[in-house]
Each structure stands twice: as C-alpha cells, then as structure tokens.
Structure 1
C-alpha cells in the first residue's frame, strides 16, 4: 500500500499557498494583499518557507497517513 498523504498535503498546500491567489505576504503596496494575482520575489520566498514549515508539521509531526487500495 502506498502512502498518499505527502502527495495530497503537498498539492493542497501548493494551491492554498500560491502567492497572489488567496493572499500574498508581503504584497506590492501593503504587508498583506488578498487576491491580487501578482507576485514578487520576496513573496515567493516567504510562501516557500510557510509551505515547507506546514508540510513538515503535517507529515512528520502529526504523522498524517492516507492509504488507498
């Protein structure tokens, strides 16, 4: 049986944490912008760190497992 938790959690976090989609931290004109659909280098770095932190917490600390089959 394959563990699908890393794939599912990664895809969901990638969609939710895409800079400019739901929010962007830091924004172009303000610290936090919502739904701007624009991004910059700083926002990409910050969202990458947030993604890595949440992914690590969900997979390693909470030990989430999804088995199919």
Structure 2
C-alpha cells in the first residue's frame, strides 16, 4: 500500500475557494481598488487573482513543502 501526498490537492482547493474573484474580495474592483463580497468579477480581476493564486500555491507547495500523507 503506497502513501499518497494530498498536500498540494488540499492547498489548491482551499486557495481556489478563497481566491475566487468576488467571493471574499475583488482586486481590482470596478469603482475602487478592493471591494469585499460583491459577487461580481471582471477580466482584469480574474487575471490578478490567478497570478496571486499561482504565487501562493508555488510558495506553499514548493518552497514551504506542505505534505499530507495518507
């Protein structure tokens, strides 16, 4: 029986949920720099959130090395 590393999967899902544009915050917003909980999005905010997602995922999984073995 082999151990499976669930760390990258858990981190990816959590970051995807937290960094969905418009869910918790939207950066940049339509009228301000940041809006919280407005449930709307734009192309530029999707781009900004995906760059933040990639940076945090890289830091957490590769640099810090979060591992969850089952």
TM over 0.5: yes
Compute the RMSD of aligned alpha carbons: 0.4
| Aligned counterparts, 1:12-51, within 5 A | 12-51=14-53
Which consecutive segments of 4 or more residues in structure 1 shift more than 4 A?
none
Q: Secondary structure at the match of 1:64?
A: coil
Deviation at 1:36, TM superposition (A): 0.3
| Aligned counterparts, 1:44-59, within 5 A | 44-59=46-61
TM-score by length of 2: 0.95
Unpaired segments of 5 or more residues in structure 1? none
**Number of matched residues?**
68
Unpaired segments of 5 or more residues in structure 2? none
